[in-house]
Amino acid sequence: MIKNIGVVGAGAMGSGIAQVAAMAGMNVFIFDSFETAILKARSTIQISLEKAEDKGKIPRGESIQILNRIRFVEDMSEFKNCDLVIEAVIENAEVKQNLFRELENIVSIKTILATNTSSLSITSIASACQHPERVIGIHFFNPAPLMPLVEIIPGITTDPLLAGEVKTLISGWGKIPVIAKDVPGFIVNRIARPYYGEAIRIYEEGIADFATIDWAMKEFGSFRMGPFELMDMIGNDINYTVTETVWKQYFFEPRYKPSLTQKRLFEAGYFGKKSGRGYYDYAEGRIQPEPTKDPDKGKYIYTRVLAMLINEAAEALYWNVATRDDIDLAMTKGVNYPKGLLKWADDIGIINVLELISDLHHTYHEERYRPSILLNKMADENKTFYD
């Protein structure tokens, strides 16, 4: 039975993961190489638990008990009895590999070693270990205590039974686990790319401004946030880096090509909300631009971005990145899409989605707009994703 959890890295993700595990009744040991990070994590978790108590999400007085289950340790040797260790240190393959090498000398042979990496290959991290069969990706979303989705990613050397075992554990922590193949971006960070990339492209072509594109996606697609608002919230530094990493790791697949617009924002330090400026200017008193609420233009923008998203989801299914159900769950629970993309495709009609993508392909003659082979096959055979 898994009861003792080690967390390495007490930053944004590590502290959130420690909180989730402790709330699920686990004994948690958390370590960071910077003492200040540990102090900050303790206060972040405490504030977050107190908020949960105030909102009635946990019973009064429970936050102290949960906090008492977390031990902020000064040395990783304290992990020796851990059943599972999740690392959430900086996104650097060498640092993660060295960490796992070190951990293998501390923990037992049965301990599961998990990485929370967003963009590195699980298999490459595992390759540093003497026992790569115990290494798996457990990818939480930020903020971990609030976001329900967790992607579980076995590498090619992972024990085939481990993903199922970890899935059961993570469900028991109150999260929604999905299983993803060890491919760049896994499910969410791969399929969501057109939400940003196609929106930027529409802007770069001069079809509409940021505010109008954001309005179109919310008004016609019922997305909670428009692409530019969302990129400003995620941070253009993070969003740009993920785009570039996914593109490079897919051997420069044109569908994932980053944009110069976002690169320039990144270079300028216009990271978004956190830096006070991104696509929008967040200076105090600044009046935000109004969208041009032209319904024809709005519908064009929404259908173009949605068709690209569906094409991406169909590609992910075709290439076995995940199952149909996990793909739809991932996008609704990981990035709050109003509907699963494959379900959405059925509602619109596969033939109609294919026509939208094919029109773009004919117009631009770019590989970026290549319709998924799966959509082509399904349209030919008059099939739907769901019965």
Ligand X SMILES: NC(=O)c1ccc[n+]([C@@H]2O[C@H](COP(=O)([O-])OP(=O)(O)OC[C@H]3O[C@@H](n4cnc5c(N)ncnc54)[C@H](O)[C@@H]3O)[C@@H](O)[C@H]2O)c1
362 carries an active-site annotation:
no
Q: Is 180 in the site for ligand X (CB under 6 A)?
A: no
Alpha carbons 125 and 151: distance in angstroms, whole number: 17
Q: How far is the CB of 197 from ligand X (least distance, A)?
A: 19
From 87, 104, 151, 219, the catalytic residue: 151
- Identify the residue among 5, 10, 200, 378 touching ligand X (CB under 6 A): 10
Residue selected from 5, 7, 8, 374 as contacting ligand X according to rule CB under 6 A: 8
Per annotation, catalytic residue among 15, 48, 119, 189: 189
Minimum gap (Å) between residue 69 Cβ and ligand X: 20
CB of 10 to ligand X, least distance (A): 5
* Under rule CB under 6 A, residue 262 binds ligand X: no
What is the spatial distance between Cα 362 and Cα 228, in angstroms, rounded to a whole number?
Answer: 27
185 near ligand X, rule: CB under 6 A: no
Q: Could you give the string, one character per residue 87-106, with x where binding to ligand X holds by CB under 6 A and - elsewhere?
A: -xxxx---x---x-------
Torsion of CA 79, 92, 272, 152, to 10 degrees: -60
DSSP code at position 155: -
237: tokens are: 């530094």
Total number of residues that touch ligand X (CB under 6 A):
23
Cβ atoms 278, 272 nearer than 8 A = yes
Which of 11, 148, 276, 289: binder of ligand X (CB under 6 A)? 11
32 binds ligand X (CB under 6 A): yes
Name which of 73 and 95 has its Cβ closer to ligand X. Answer: 95
Nearest distance from C-beta of residue 91 to ligand X, angstroms? 4
Other CB atoms within 10 Å distance of the CB of residue 255: 21
**What's the CA gap between 204 and 244, in Å, rounded?**
18
Tell me the closest approach of the beta carbon of residue 368 to ligand X, in angstroms.
Answer: 26
Binding track over 132-171 against ligand X, x by CB under 6 A:
--------xxx-----------------------------
Rounded to a whole number of angstroms, the minimum distance from the CB of residue 257 to ligand X is 22
Question: 266 Cβ partners below 8 Å, 6+ apart?
Answer: 236, 237, 240, 241
Pairing mode of beta strands 149-154, 70-72: unpaired
- 245 binding ligand X? (CB under 6 A): no
Candidates 15, 139, 229, 236; catalytic one:
139
Q: Which 196-235 positions form the footprint of ligand X (CB under 6 A)?
A: none
Distance CA 334, CA 36 (A): 30
Task: State yes or no: is 151 an active-site residue.
Answer: yes
Segments of 68-148 assigned E as strands: 70-72, 84-87, 112-115, 135-140
Stretch of 116-124, 129-137, 309-317, 374-382 contacting ligand X, by CB under 6 A = 116-124
End-to-end CA distance of the chain: 39
Site membership for ligand X, residue 9 (CB under 6 A): yes
Q: CA–CA separation, 22 vs 86, rounded Å? A: 13
**Is residue 34 near ligand X by the rule CB under 6 A?**
yes
How many CA atoms does the CB half-sphere of 359 hold within 13 Å? 11
237 sits near ligand X (criterion: CB under 6 A)? no
Rounded to whole angstroms, the Cα distance separating 86 from 99 reads: 11
> DSSP character for 79?
G
Specify whether 204 is catalytic. no
**Beta strand pairing status for 135-140 and 149-154?**
antiparallel
Q: How far apart are CA 283 and CA 256, in angstroms?
A: 32
Nearer to ligand X by C-beta: 94 or 387?
Answer: 94
Residue (of 17, 285, 289) closest to 142 by Cα position: 17
114 binds ligand X (CB under 6 A): no
Q: List contacts with ligand X (CB under 6 A).
A: 8-14, 32-34, 37, 88-91, 95, 99, 116-118, 140-142
List the catalytic residues.
118, 139, 151, 189
